[in-house]
Amino acid sequence: MRFDWQAEMEKRRESLIHHLTQLCAIESIRDESTAREGAPFGEAIATALDYMLDLGKTDGFETKNVDGYAGHIQYGEGEELVGVLAHLDVVPAGDGWTSPPFSPEIRDGKFYARGAQDDKGPAMAAYFALKLVKESGLPLSRRVRLILGTDEESQWKDMKVYFEREQMPDMGFTPDADFPLIHAEKGLIDLTLSGSAPQVETSGDSWVLSRFEAGQRPNMVPDAAGARLAGDGDVFELKERYQDYLLTHRIRGYAEEADDYLTLVMEGVSHHGSEPDQGLNAAYHLAEFLGDLPLDEVGSRYVAFIRNYLVDSFFGEKLGIAQSDDITGPLTVNGGVFRYEPGEGQWAQLNIRYPVDGDHDWICRQVDERVTSYGLTVTEVDHKAPNHVDPDHPLVKTLLRVYEEQTGQPAKPMAIGGATYARALKPGVCFGPLFPGHEERAHQKDEYIRVDDLIRAAAIYAQAIYELAK
């Protein structure tokens, strides 16, 4: 008898959407101000984790909360363990949503909410997959754990603590990117560049850069940038110049005078930091404009750093770290966060993704050597080594076969620049939820997942869990 996973999952459609709506209403953005014991990343993230674990408990699963860092929902018997790893934290919503990002709404068959695609939708699909496997009564010879992480979008501290205390699955997958399957991911480096910025006085007709800021996260292309200028220069002329720049480059923005300052604001287009050339980096454009103005020495050095090393250099060319391989393609650099204020200091955060055979130490040395002359010191905030699972590994072969069986489409393993949770599993691959050719909306405004796709993915996950654990 052939079990019809898709038909069975269809019967659970409404329930899945109901629970996903509840889950996506929780603003589970990392918030240290509400962190406490048992909620290391803040109240909202703890609430999201509790929601999932309570759901598991109610449905009769064994569950465990590892001090709020992560948790799991387990089913099955046996020594060996299969892992499915998803995350419940989300990146900030950003502006410009059609409907409120934390009030989920279905329009034209699409479920809109922050986290719909990355990664609450897939987490809920994986949960319903596990639930269907349980309800099917099909026998398993291995245990399956749906592991729910809570710090994927920031520092992966959740996984560090979780796997210090809990068993590493013998193999697993994470539903956090694309179908059919990702077997290779670039290495990831987050660098913070920082330095002092002394107070400066206005002199002659040059402007003092009294503030520059853009971006919230290193792994997102900044969708807004702002600068504040002080000085006795010709404000009218400067405003005209700014309007010209905006028009020529077809960028939205404005200039505004208030409290002896001229504020310049620019709008960009946010995009995932793994594809920095696909967004419009507001900080880069604002630096490009400011770079042609007579600015004070300290401010102009900060702007020059952005121009000389980052602008028009999405593949690390200007930093001297460009490299590429046949498995994962070129290294990328995203300037995701910028802060500058005299008296306070200057900062930038870079998100670098390097090919599977790249050299992490060499990359860091190159960046370090270049930025020191701009008064900046490099600190590595995060490093994740590349992930690469052999295409002939049984994990890869089984998942691809399941995908082909359910979709009727031929499936080949892929390589990406995004760092997914797959590399927290050893070995681990990424498996869905986005079907080929469908729009990627992770980390963007109006993030959504097609409800039909979500159900289809859940059915694929159910069979995948069964095939890996039977």
* x/- track of binding to Zn ion for residues 403-432 (CB under 5 A): ------------------------------
Shortest spacing between CB 317 and Zn ion, in angstroms: 28
- Tell me if residue 1 falls in helix, strand or coil: coil
Closest alpha carbon to 187 in 418, 350, 430: 418
Do strands 171-174 and 81-87 pair parallel, antiparallel, or not at all (unpaired)? parallel
Q: How far is the CB of 177 from Zn ion (least distance, A)?
A: 7
Q: What's the DSSP call for residue 278?
A: G
Size of the site for Zn ion (CB under 5 A): 3
Options 57-65, 176-184, 328-336, 430-438: segment touching Zn ion (CB under 5 A)? 176-184
Using CB under 5 A as the binding rule, whether residue 151 contacts Zn ion is answered as no
DSSP code string of 182-196: EEEE-EEEEEEEEE-
- Show the beta-strand stretches assigned E in 136-207: 143-149, 171-174, 177-178, 181-185, 187-195
Per-residue tokens: 310: 């980052």
CB 334 within 8 A of CB 221: yes
In whole angstroms, the minimum distance from the beta carbon of 434 to Zn ion comes to 11
Strands 253-258 and 377-384: unpaired
Q: Which two tokens stand for residue 84?
A: 């499915």
3-state secondary structure of 147: strand
Residue 54 Cβ, how far from Zn ion at the closest point, in Å? 22
Residue 28 or residue 346: which is nearer to Zn ion going by CB? 28
Of the listed 27, 119, 151, 152, which one is catalytic? 152
**Judging by DSSP bridges, how do beta strands 261-267 and 324-325 pair with one another?**
unpaired
Q: Look at residues 396, 462, 416, 447 and name the one whose alpha carbon lies nearest to residue 187.
A: 416
**Closest approach of Zn ion to the CB of residue 24, in Å:** 14
HEC string of 323-340 equals CEECCCEECEEEEEEEEE
- As a whole number of angstroms, the distance between CA 205 and CA 292 comes to 14
Choose the catalytic residue: 27, 89, 153, 447: 89
- Binding to Zn ion by residue 176, rule CB under 5 A? yes
89 is catalytic: yes
Q: How far apart are alpha carbons 332 and 392 in whole angstroms?
A: 28
Hey, what are 412's tokens?
């080949």
Beta carbon nearer to Zn ion, 176 or 453: 176
Q: In this complex, which beta carbon is closest to Zn ion, that of residue 119 or of residue 178? A: 119
Q: Rounded to the nearest whole angstrom, what is the least distance from the CB of residue 181 to Zn ion in the complex?
A: 16
Half-sphere exposure of 170 (CA within 13 A, CB side): 13
- Least spacing, CB of residue 91 vs Zn ion, in Å: 9
Residue 267 in contact with Zn ion, rule: CB under 5 A: no
Within residues 93-132, the interface with Zn ion by CB under 5 A covers: 118-119
- Is 178 catalytic? The answer is no
Nearer to Zn ion, 63 or 150 (CB): 150
Taking the least distance from each CB to Zn ion, the nearer of 163 and 421 is 421
- 269 class by beta-carbon count within 10 Å (0-12 exposed, 13-18 middle, 19+ buried): middle
- Between 176 and 447, whose beta carbon lies closer to Zn ion? 176
User: Cα angle vertex 89, ends 84, 91, to 5°?
Assistant: 125
Count of C-beta atoms within a 10 Å radius of residue 458: 31
Token digits of residue 70: 């992560």
**Judged by CB, which is closer to Zn ion: 118, or 185?**
118
CB of 442 to Zn ion, least distance (A): 6
Q: Which is nearer to Zn ion, 279 or 432 (CB)?
A: 432
Residues in touch with Zn ion (CB under 5 A): 118-119, 176
Q: Which residues are catalytic?
A: 89, 152
